[in-house]
Amino acid sequence: MSELTIVQITDTHLRPEGELLHGVDTAANLTAVLDRLREFGQRVDVLIFSGDLSDNGSPEAYRRLRAAVEPVAAELGAEIVYAMGNHDERTAFGIELLGRDTVDPDRPHDQCVEIAGVRIIVLDSTTPFQHDGKLEPAQLAWLADELRTPAPHGTVLVVHHPPLRSPLATLDFLRLKDAEQLAEVVAGTDVRMILCGHNHLTGASALAGIPVWIGPATAYRLDAMAPAGRHRGFAGFGYSRIDIMASTVLATAIDAAPAPTVYDRPEAEMLEQIAAIVAARAAVR
């Protein structure tokens, strides 16, 4: 049913081997997600990594990421798209993940690729040494120019910082600033969804009538209803499945933390059972 299936993995916060983040083995979390993708056994067209891929911008962390991700992408036949986050470092990111020989640290890593008729545009919303987000006028002008020509199946925009206000003080402070400028550019275009990370929680909203999806982090989760005056993170991680269909886009958050199985039955058997129930109800009417 899906014209394009995207897996969004965000906020992996990888560190050099042997280092933990708040006591969390973020590399193990990423491995668990990739193992789930291997088990999926169905088509995945694109793997989008939407920022904060390294926790401290170290080249070693990016090399660990590539070593883990590229074999799985090859098995799935999926393209890989990398986006910058505020914990990433532009020079190491450009060399290790984008394969660039030289990198201008003052130039954002914006990208545009088309896969199966869907255009994926990545905007680098980072400012070196800052944790909130910002898009420069030149980036918005470039985006507007790209969007003047519609893609066959529309556009997915990837930006690490959500262009949204938040009821959580810390997230509101660290959001994408001047989001109304982005809204002016994307309004009325073929952008079908905006994918974000950064917040370490799952959320959904809209910008200029376009759905905005904040994917669950792979490193750890933020407590969206912590006690008053507290900022709290806890163990847990996940990823997102984005299905682009003819008339809609569907985002699904997937919990990847270990959990007991409630049931595991053949899909054909479930469909047969549902069909029987529907037929029985129709006969009664």
CATH number of the domain bearing residue 151: 3.60.21.10
Token pair for residue 108? Answer: 């954002």
Phi, psi of 249 (to 5 degrees): -130, 130
* Per-residue burial over 10-46, b = 16 or more CB atoms within 10 Å of its CB, e = otherwise: bbbbbbeeeeebeebebbebbebbbeebeeeeeebbb
Query: Is the pTM value of this prediction over 0.85?
Result: yes
Which 3-state string (H, E, C) describes 101-145? CCCCCCCCCCEEEEECCEEEEEECCCCCCCCCECCCHHHHHHHHH
The pLDDT mean for the chain works out to 95
Confidence band, pLDDT 50/70/90 cuts, at residue 263: confident
Q: In total, how many domains does the chain have? A: 1
pLDDT per residue as tens digits for the range 119-138: 999 999 999 999 999 999 99
Tokens of 131: 């944790």
Q: What is the pLDDT of residue 1?
A: 58
In this structure, what token pair is assigned to residue 222? 């933020």
Structural domain harbouring 74: 4-283
